[in-house]
Structure 1
């Protein structure tokens, strides 16, 4: 009887040792939150390709991000081998909408090879706020930045990791509409988002308070202001933070009641049409000196027609326009809104950008794209369509440890990313994850620089609509220009633009 008892004791001691090791380590939130049991996730992950190939699904069937896309982000964040062997397993010839980037054999522009540089300097070609002469206009140091995700939706450790990662990678970090918390103050430069609830800049009645906004801007490294009209996850609906996520700290930051569902209105109260919105934009710019822009998903296009007509007069205007794809984002939403409200990114962005180009205004503001653009092929299509910068949201969550469990709306995120549960959030070590965020952002920039080199231009924002073709699902294809109805010459870099970009990048190439 002694042998079974000894074996059981040794097994229990071994499990206890593994549990202690998991609780102490800080690299993996799953193991820290679920000692011993969490190890199964990594074992299954190692044999995932075989399981999916013979039992479950292919590498490209999972949504919203395929297994291949997630694997690339995870490997990039850990600075592991993010190459793929044995050729593509995508159904290239028969997948409608599949992008093909066309490399050039010879090109006048021959950027230096940047195969191993994770800190490639890829600044914005345009100066944010420069066209309208804002006092604090600046050139963003990175074409890739972190999209708006609120503290409240995300945990304190996740926000801290992203802000520290933003500092390490030299990117801008959008606060999201939930206000500016202590967790946003770890060195990363900020874009402060003003949502319909005016969290962080509202009075006791919930109305916009300019004095509070100015105090907030003066207290943090805020570089620009973004007025959120709508977002891709739930356009036209407003937001909802469940009461279980409204902690005392979040209630204080937002100026709301603790433990009570926090609903953001679907529309602003500080303005009610394009004319009053532009008055609001100019007020914010005059009082703070910061560039001011708007973020919106794309539905009815009359808004943009009215905006262009007003902006063409020259006396008032936005400095940047963030277009969010209707295919959803970091926010939880009713299924109908996530699936069917607002245009997906490529269609919506093209409809808007082409209107500004038709009016001769495309060069007067910065266009920012968001909506699954944190993988290089999607990002390149966005640049070809006219984006100057891209924002990444869910991809940054993946870099910080998200496993696409899709429990963001339940407060039960197992990796501590999208929860206010203290036990789950404690598993996410902000120091370790901040490095992963920076690694991912740097790798994405590096790969974008590589693609620009292959195409023969000095910067990914100079990839033209004729440099990318879209497969039609059979054996044919058409250029981005043809698919989206761009006129010849639209978003095609001139020799002067190429020379200016080469000069800009010169000291860092």
Structure 2
């Protein structure tokens, strides 16, 4: 009996095929149409029975493929049928729907009140004032640049976070930069270099340099000051940023496979085409916090005095304190620090790092803000927050904690159809 159950698909296909042939002979040739279904099922089942790569399909020929189909459909069935509006991770349906509605110019109002459990332990809210501003600023800006900076920049309170050309397509990069131009906010290049697609619409650019120094490196992968100065001095580049780590995979580096390193990407990054493109785990240009401050000052000078900052996901608290101490020791103050939360996303993060390494944004933001305030340098160094911001509430929450502005990546990806 067990053998019959395990082979129900091939046996059933064979039985129906024989029956269809008999009915075609005795009654009507139209019964042969059944063979269009049963013969492929029988062929698949016979292949499964004799192959030696997959145990489950050998034991359950034909039928085991239904299990594979269920696995493939599982994420979609959960998203469209099982999950509630507030349950999805990392973004619930409510969040995605809000971004899509605003991107399409549709109504974003919510009738009949909140669906959240306001008595629940996880509920969060903002305390309002009974005396709201009579004329609130419609487009608030933040001046970035301390007294060591010759060309301060007026930044929006919400901007496009780092996403590289190569990870994103040329069309996506162009769309994001056009949005930055129209919205009056900046577009962070990510560590993949300052491509011609970032330049196509003239939106404000923050050029991020990671450990690979893409777009500003020599053949050995070292920082090339001449290449950097050539790009950083462009009017469109408003600030530059040293990436120490990102929230989704802190301390991991990265690899763009050779198959994705096209001639165009190679030219942008200044790497050989059709070869693996490695982002090392650490920087070559400096190895201590003090050396990093000196490198930041060098970048600021090479860019013509534009603001320079650092971006990191907080890990060991003493390392964040060491960075702030290096500012005091050297007398060199970066113009801003971007704290990236461990809840950040990427297409290339091992699950262990994505789930369990690095501080979440709120914790990291509080720690870095307290370090800057405690050292008496918060008036010189602006603080930005990056991690799952998609609405005015997330923006207000981070600003209340101590951020001067916020960056978002996935929300903008949703808006262009990701």
Distance 1:343 1:352 in 2: 11
Structure 2 match to 1:479: none
RMSD of the TM alignment (CA)? 2.0
Q: Equivalent of 1:91, from 104, 113, 117?
A: 117
1:100 paired with 2:151, answer no
Q: Equivalent of 1:135, from 145, 150, 161?
A: 150
How far residue 243 of structure 1 moved from its aligned partner, in angstroms, is 2.7
Distance 2:400 2:88 in 1: 26
Structure 1 match to 2:60: none
Structure 2 match to 1:280: 295
Structure 2 match to 1:340: 356
Structure 1 match to 2:205: 190
Distance 1:197 1:94, change over 3 A: same
Bigger radius of gyration: 2
Contact 1:99 1:377 in 2 (8 A): no
Distance 1:71 1:55 in 2: 16
Q: Equivalent of 2:103, from 54, 62, 77?
A: 77
How far residue 220 of structure 1 moved from its aligned partner, in angstroms, is 5.2
Distance 1:344 1:376 in 2: 19
Contact 1:234 1:334 in 2 (8 A): yes
How far residue 294 of structure 1 moved from its aligned partner, in angstroms, is 0.2
The Cα offsets for residues 4-42 of structure 1, whole Å up to 9 and x where unpaired, read as: xxxxxxxxxxxxxxxxxxxxxxxxxxxxxxxxxxxxxxx
Distance 2:80 2:285 in 1: 56
The Cα offsets for residues 38-73 of structure 1, whole Å up to 9 and x where unpaired, read as: xxxxxxxxxx9xx98995121011111110000000
Q: Equivalent of 1:181, from 195, 198, 212?
A: 195
For residues 429-444 of structure 1, what are the structure 2 equivalents within 5 Å? Answer: none
Distance 1:103 1:400, change over 3 A: same
How far residue 313 of structure 1 moved from its aligned partner, in angstroms, is 4.5
Distance 2:376 2:259 in 1: 49
Distance 1:152 1:55, change over 3 A: closer
Structure 1 match to 2:177: 163
SS of structure 1 residue aligned to 2:206: strand
The Cα offsets for residues 408-449 of structure 1, whole Å up to 9 and x where unpaired, read as: xxxxxxxxxxxxxxxxxxxxxxxxxxxxxxxxxxxxxxxxxx
Structure 2 match to 1:400: 416
Structure 2 match to 1:64: 90
Q: Equivalent of 1:153, from 160, 167, 179?
A: 167
How far residue 273 of structure 1 moved from its aligned partner, in angstroms, is 0.6
How far residue 113 of structure 1 moved from its aligned partner, in angstroms, is 6.7
Distance 1:86 1:53 in 2: 24
How far residue 286 of structure 1 moved from its aligned partner, in angstroms, is 2.0
Q: Equivalent of 2:219, from 204, 210, 218?
A: 204
SS of structure 1 residue aligned to 2:379: helix
SS of structure 1 residue aligned to 2:144: coil
- State TM-score, norm by structure 2: 0.78
Distance 1:384 1:338 in 2: 26
How far residue 246 of structure 1 moved from its aligned partner, in angstroms, is 1.5
SS of structure 1 residue aligned to 2:154: coil
5+ unaligned residues in a row in structure 1: which ranges?
1-47, 115-119, 403-509
How far residue 360 of structure 1 moved from its aligned partner, in angstroms, is 2.0
Contact 2:293 2:334 in 1 (8 A): yes
Distance 2:83 2:217 in 1: 48
Distance 1:197 1:155 in 2: 20
1:317 paired with 2:343, answer no
Moved more, 377-386 or 268-277: 377-386
Structure 1 match to 2:11: none
Distance 2:346 2:214 in 1: 18
Contact 2:95 2:390 in 1 (8 A): no
Distance 2:136 2:152 in 1: 31
The Cα offsets for residues 480-501 of structure 1, whole Å up to 9 and x where unpaired, read as: xxxxxxxxxxxxxxxxxxxxxx
Q: How many equivalent residue pairs?
A: 341
Distance 1:330 1:376, change over 3 A: farther
Distance 2:247 2:78 in 1: 30
How far residue 164 of structure 1 moved from its aligned partner, in angstroms, is 0.9
Distance 1:159 1:267, change over 3 A: same
